[in-house]
Chains A and B, each alone.
Chain A
Amino acid sequence: MATVRSWRLRSMYRKLAMFLVNLILAVAALFPILWGLSSSLKPSEQIVEFPPRLLPKDITFEHYLRIVADNAMFYLFNSAFISVAAVLLALLTGALAAYALARFEFRGRSTTMVVTVAIMSIPIASLLVPTFTLLSTVGLIDTRLGLILLYAAYQLPVVIWMLYGYFLSLPIEIEQAARIDGYSPFATLRKVVLPLSRPGLVAAALFVLVFAWNDFVVAVTMTSSEQARTLPVAIYFYLGFYGREWGPLLAASIVSIIPIIALFVFLQRYFMSGLTGGGVKG
């Protein structure tokens, strides 16, 4: 009996310890966001009051109205449009490249793989100047298309690498069956491989999306006009020369965070694999 009780006690302690660790992690991760949300709803003078208040005394939406007036919706649209386009472009080209690398024998395949991995290790900061001159030369500086191409290009090696691994994990017999059933390699990719690769595609898409959505450095370097401005750059403009407009800044930050959180929650189920279950036996 005594051992049973002590075992139970220990397992309870363990659960408690695990819960505490999780709680600490959750608070550490979520607190800044919640604090930002709370502050974005406070009137300007309460944001900087001391001692700070966790919950706003008076709730106001003035900062949100202010950023809408400042054309934030357009920047939000820019961010969304550029990110989604970059995701589609990176997935389209990346899937084709990854499939070729995973399933076809051709000259230079291993070299291509090595180069793809090597490119991933180049820091983006070191690419800013050359890409700036490149974009100016081809006349895409300060355009949305320029940003789309850059984001897709920066993330392409990662996308290729992720999808390559995913394609390799699919049972090859299913693709062989499609070939024998009368489908070309391209049709096999479209009708069989891609539908089965949804978890891999979702993971790769999120990778590109988060990069494109969050990017500040590339966007601020490559764009100057409002027409190509993205939300992170717009947020930056609230840190003006003459003072920090905390209210609109936090409101804009919250607006930029919400879509990505919603997306992650929505796509969570695709992270779980097992989509290929039952296709092949053994």
Chain B
Amino acid sequence: MANVSFKNVSKRYGDVTALDSLNLEVAAGEFVSLLGPSGSGKSTTLNILSGLQDADSGQVFIGERDVTNLSPEKRDVALVFQNYALYPHMTVAENIAFPLEARRPKVSTTEINRKVQAVVESLGIQELLARYPKEISGGQQQRVALGRAMVRDPKVFLLDEPLSNLDARLRIRMRRDLKALHSSLKSTIVYVTHDQSEAMTMSDRIAIFDKGLLQQIATPRDIYNLPANLFVANFVGDRETNQLHGELVEEGGNCFIRGNAWSIPLSRSSEQIRYKGAVTIGIRPESVKLGKSDDALSISGQVVHTELAGPDLYILAALVGGEEVSLRCEPGTSVSIGDAIPLNIAEDRIHIFDPASGICLSHGVPHVGR
């Protein structure tokens, strides 16, 4: 178990900047997810940490050791690959023992057997020891890949989208198992994923990447409630954050956001925002409610689409100016396409962003207590 730090690490492929001066600290024993769309730099970060790729500039430390120029076999990290990368010509037992056999001075056979046995027991795959990878299911292959990483007791565990090849149910079950594994091993884990719900459910902290840049690193709660910018607000959450364009104006000490045929008064004071002019506001679907028609503050919209997602009904409504807002309602709500509905936007939950840079100027109140 060791901490990991990236200091000004950059990587380019030709003209494309895959990673732009990354500074990232992962504490010893921490579970950190690297989250982002494909091509965001999260996998590059992982590969540079594992040594499979070299950084163009900057330094990488594992513990106190500068590993920037060390080859992968000397870094003492374990990596679970997206496609598991089991050795097809070896049995499950041989696969798990393989990292131990590389150790110098040699580990005795009895010691290797003891460790392999301990690992397979903790993963519940004892009966698979003599099988070959092609003879076991995807979920079992996944466990073998985890076992191969665990058996070494490495400084850092790296997991590269390890659940993306599993079916939906198993994936959610494995989340729990991984989390349990982390609390029992107490090891440092760097977990790469493009699935925000995986990152939200398992991590101590999430690092969000886009276009080779680290956008924000924070706890799942803060990532969700206090997004640093529009990208983070949009990427995290089951549904996209609604975005409306307007202007922040102040009249007699009160702030308003004035849009195309709508206006929302804010309870925040102008000192809290310290900004005037064009803004983009972000509001999550759960902070928009179906209002009452006699409510003066509600904005009128027209239903263009409804989507029943089990416990929730999502409604997409068009505002007068043409902008669209989605809202989450009780599944029993009866609306049909074309209906005019009043929308109640919880003004205290509005995030205000600079439209040019996307940086958040003022956060709304968190959805859950901090």
Contacts of A174 in B (CB 8 A): 85-88
- Name the residue in A173, A280, A281 with the highest tally of chain B Cβ atoms < 10 Å from its Cβ: A281
Contacts of A173 in B (CB 8 A): 81, 83, 85
* Minimal beta-carbon separation of A83 from chain B (angstroms): 27
Interface of B is mostly: loop
* B84→A281 contact, CB < 8 A: yes
Q: Is B285 an interface residue, CB under 8 A from the partner?
A: no
Q: Is B73 an interface residue, CB under 8 A from the partner?
A: yes
- Name the residue in B83, B85, B138 with the highest tally of chain A Cβ atoms < 10 Å from its Cβ: B85
Contact stretch, chosen from B31-39, B96-104, B337-345: B96-104
Q: Is A278 an interface residue, CB under 8 A from the partner?
A: yes
* A179→B85 contact, CB < 8 A: no
Contacts of B73 in A (CB 8 A): 179-184
* Minimal beta-carbon separation of B357 from chain A (angstroms): 38
Question: Using a CB-CB cutoff of 8 Å, which residues 283-327 of chain B contact chain A?
Answer: none
Contacts of B75 in A (CB 8 A): 180
* Minimal beta-carbon separation of B130 from chain A (angstroms): 14
Annotate B321-363 by CB proximity to A: 1 below 8 A, 0 otherwise: 0000000000000000000000000000000000000000000
Whether A180 contacts B89 in the complex (CB less than 8 A), given A171-B83, A173-B83, comes out as no
- How many chain A residues touch B (CB < 8 A): the figure is 24
Picked from B51, B88, B136, B152, the residue with its CB within 8 Å of the CB of A275 is B88
Contacts of A179 in B (CB 8 A): 51-52, 71-73
Bound: A105/B111 CA distance, A:
38
* A279→B87 contact, CB < 8 A: yes
Contacts of A278 in B (CB 8 A): 86, 88, 132-136, 141
* A195→B89 contact, CB < 8 A: yes
Question: Using a CB-CB cutoff of 8 Å, which residues 99-142 of chain B contact chain A?
Answer: 99, 102-103, 132-136, 138, 141
Question: Using a CB-CB cutoff of 8 Å, which residues 186-204 of chain A contact chain B?
Answer: 187, 192, 195-196
Bound: A53/B149 CA distance, A:
71
Q: Is B189 an interface residue, CB under 8 A from the partner?
A: no
Whether A196 contacts B82 in the complex (CB less than 8 A), given A176-B72, A182-B73, comes out as no
Whether A275 contacts B89 in the complex (CB less than 8 A), given A180-B52, A280-B83, comes out as yes
- Name the residue in A179, A180, A187 with the highest tally of chain B Cβ atoms < 10 Å from its Cβ: A180
Annotate A154-187 by CB proximity to B: 1 below 8 A, 0 otherwise: 0000000000000000010110111111111001
Q: Is A227 an interface residue, CB under 8 A from the partner?
A: no
Q: Is A282 an interface residue, CB under 8 A from the partner?
A: yes
Q: Could you list 9 examples of A-B contacts with CB < 8 Å?
A: A173-B83, A177-B86, A180-B51, A180-B78, A277-B134, A278-B133, A280-B84, A280-B85, A280-B86
What is the interface of chain A, defined by CB distance below 8 A to chain B? 171, 173-174, 176-184, 187, 192, 195-196, 275-282
